[in-house]
Amino acid sequence: MDFLGIGAGEILLILIVALIIWGPNKLPRIARTLGSVTRQLRKATSDFTTAITREVELEEKTKTPPDAGKPPEKTEPKPTAEKLDKKPGADEQ
């Protein structure tokens, strides 16, 4: 068992020290408080993540392409087979 880089023996030692310092009567209340704080932090981070994700998705939906406001570019017509076969200066003779 490895929790945040702490092994089972180290967790047991921390629990024994906490039991000696605060006593058996206060440990359940401390554990409940820690659990409540952990739950509130998880809910807050989840809500924050959801809000950010929703805003990013909304921004992507409303984003216009970079060339949407520009007029279409003029392109030269593709040369036809007749123009390809003619050599420059052949018309002048």
Domain boundaries, the chain: 24-65
**Predicted pLDDT at 14:** 87
40 alpha-carbon distance from chain centroid: 22
Q: What is the pLDDT of residues 23-76, one digit of tens each?
A: 888 888 988 998 999 999 999 999 999 999 999 999 888 876 666 666 666 666
pTM of the full structure: 0.48
**Predicted pLDDT at 69:** 61
**Predicted pLDDT at 1:** 53
**Predicted pLDDT at 37:** 92
Q: Provide the H-helix boundaries in 5-80.
A: 8-62
